Amino acid sequence: MSAVFESHHGWIVDIVGDGSDLIGWRAMCSCGRWHGRPWQRSERAVDHAPAHRRLHCPDGQLGPVLSRLVLEEWDSHYFEMQALMPVRLAFQDSESARQRLLEAVRFVRSTGASWESIGHVIGTESAEVAEQRFGVGVGPWRDPAIQFER
């Protein structure tokens, strides 16, 4: 499975008040970019209102049912990350292709190929367009680690 999926594990953290008293909980994700909204701990059973994010838990330890309730938000985050996987894979493919293209241009330039020849194979007859696209210091394809000879 992809590292994008492997970096998403959900868990619940305690929220502690000023006097180190447990005042609630929230779901967290191992990706470090997401956390759920807080759930408040109710001292009295009569104040238990999951629809208002208040949970009665006398000993402070969420049981399986209440834990599942808090983690439902994380489920949505995880499913969103799964839905975004085609975007991630396409991005990785495009980055890989970009790197292969830069390496190919570097190689052919080191063997003496002209900017005009490179321009021809990328679909333009302009040496200037090829150099602007792949040359050092210009264009969105610039990679400072790659030095071309002019």
Closest CA to 141 of 98, 105, 104: 98
Ranking 9-18, 26-35, 105-114, 134-143 by mean pLDDT, the lowest is: 134-143
List b or e across 104-137, with b for residues whose CB sees 16 or more CB atoms inside 10 angstroms. ebbeebeeeeebeebbeeeeeeeeebbbebbbee
Average pLDDT, the chain: 84
Q: What pLDDT digit, counting tens, does each position of 24-71 carry?
A: 999 999 888 889 999 999 989 999 999 999 999 888 889 999 999 999
CA 15 to chain CA centroid, Å, is 26
pTM above 0.85, yes or no: no
Residue bearing tokens 């991630």: 88
What are the tokens at 38? 């807080």
d(CA 123, CA 129): 10
Task: Tell me the β-bridge partners of 29.
Answer: 10
